[in-house]
Amino acid sequence: MINTIAKLGAFNVWANETLLRRLDSSAAAGQEIPQPVLRLFSHAINAQCIWIARITGTQSPVKVWQEHDLAGIHHWHEQSSERLRELCEITDEAELGRHIQYTNSQGDAYDSLVSDILTHAVTHATYHRAQAATKMREGGLEPVNSDFITYCREMSGQVQPQL
């Protein structure tokens, strides 16, 4: 049986790393990274940290809309993307069905299933990476294709990884 949540966790790492490589190569070429790109990608990475903290019952090290420079995004990606992938991969049925009570950034209380949180964390990041791609294009940078099917094609060897 295919573990879709585990596959989504691996996709999320790939998508974050694909976008980071493009931003790194753009910066190395002397191109300025538009601030909205950094803001949106910071938010996506911060949200990963926050959801991991909620699942593990720990304090988040970042705020929802805390902004990072490219080095900071790398740092928080290294702290959270692989950890989120691990949670997606190793979480068993009992844990997937566990309810988490938490308060969001506006102070509203919620109760969500771990399976829903893990799925949301990946789809939320996908949404904001797409927004970042739009802002990259508007800022004169060529965005990457971070679609799930592109990940699947790369993993199966049908296409070469993007630079």
pLDDT at 82: 98
Residue 131 has pLDDT above 90, yes or no: yes
**Mean of pLDDT values over 107-111:** 97
pLDDT at 162: 80
What does pTM read for this prediction? 0.95
Task: Band the pLDDT of 161: cuts 50, 70, 90.
Answer: confident
In sequence order, the 6+-apart residues with CB closer than 8 A to the CB of 126 are: 12, 15, 146, 148
Contact 129, 121 (CB under 8 A): no
Percentage of the chain beyond pLDDT 90 is 94
- Distance CA(136)–CA(23), nearest Å, equals 9
- Distance CA(100)–CA(112), nearest Å, equals 5
Q: What are phi and psi of 105, to 5 degrees?
A: -70, -15
**Mean of pLDDT values over 68-84:** 98
Residue 1 has pLDDT above 80, yes or no: no
Residue 72 has pLDDT above 70, yes or no: yes
DSSP state of 9: H
